[in-house]
Amino acid sequence: MSDFFGHLLGLLRVEALSARHQAVFTAARTRRPAFARHVGLESVLSTMADAREETYPEREALTRALLAECQASSTPAWTTALASAYAPMLHRLRRRIIGNAVPREDLDQLVLATFLSVARGFPLMRWGDWTAARLRQQTAREVFRHLRKERAEQHETYTQAQLAEWLPDTRHAAPVESPRRPSVRRSFVRRDAVLVHLAQATLPRSDVEVLMATVVRREKLRAYVSRLVEGDAAEAERTYQRLKRQRTRLMQRLRTQAVDAAAQPSRGC
């Protein structure tokens, strides 16, 4: 686990305990009975850190109160307090992640953003007990689902026939005498080739949709993501990062294939 993750959680705790959030907490005490005996978020976090079995009922009530406020308000007081309260769980989850499906610098953000997304969408009315366990399970499930998807996309393979449909016709091209890579503009696919490939539906749908939007229609990737994910900034950022890597990997495959195809001598009669 990166040292930065612990530092990040420490910064979130400092933010949660900032004096500017005291008025927000004081107002919430009138709405949430679980907060009644606490004078501030520092007291709440202290209680949440007490792992004794006899404190579980109060910790359960505090968790549900924090979730309710997090879902009802956009103030950072509640998201930072919730992340601070569950910092030990987030540390354990982060340590479980191994492999290189996602760059190391992105894993901290993935764990934290997934936890907060799960918290905002947690169905308090449907699930009335075992809230901490459900938060842990749902967060871990979403994190590892995301990582499995990343690994699957990294290991997708394409046949020569599939890739050839995306490339300029190189049958009559002069042999390549220099190992220099062609420019991105020359090596990448033509717009009409993208349309042909889409019609024949030989690539995964996710690749086709991203490339159609950003290559054919020249749409900015963030604009494309904003149409896919509405109202959840954390989910939108995760989707943007995933699609950016997905598109980069595919473009790299196509460029490599273009160089290889151009380097092969023609076998025509």
The residue type at 128: G
Both tokens assigned to 92: 């354990």
Place of tokens 């005490």: 29
Enter the pTM of the model.
Answer: 0.58
Both tokens assigned to 232: 């959840």
DSSP code, position 55: G
The better pLDDT of the pair 145, 189 is held by 145
Pure H helices in 97-232: 104-121, 131-154, 160-164, 184-187, 191-200, 205-211, 221-228
Angstrom distance (rounded) from CA 30 to CA 24 = 11
Of 183-187, 218-222, 223-227, which gets the smallest average pLDDT?
183-187
Place of tokens 């900034």: 233
Q: Does the pLDDT value for residue 59 go beyond 90?
A: yes
Give the pLDDT confidence score for residue 154 in this predicted structure: 55
Name the residue ranges covered by the structural domains of the chain: 4-156, 203-263
Angstrom distance (rounded) from CA 236 to CA 129 = 30
Q: Which of 127, 130, 102 is nearest to 114 (CA)?
A: 102
Angstrom distance (rounded) from CA 77 to CA 68 = 13
For 15-35, how does the pLDDT look when each residue is reduced to its tens digit (9 = 90+)?
A: 999 999 999 999 999 999 999
For 90-136, how does the pLDDT look when each residue is reduced to its tens digit (9 = 90+)?
A: 999 998 887 665 666 678 888 999 999 999 999 999 998 999 999 99
Contact 12, 80 (CB under 8 A): yes
Calculate the dihedral angle through the C-alpha atoms of 223, 228, 234, 239, rounding to the nearest 10 degrees: -80
Of 57-71, 142-156, 186-200, which gets the smallest average pLDDT?
186-200
Tally: H helices and E strands in the chain: 14, 0
Contact 13, 48 (CB under 8 A): no
Both tokens assigned to 209: 């949709």
Which residues lie below 8 Å from residue 200, measured CB to CB, with a gap of 6+? Answer: 165
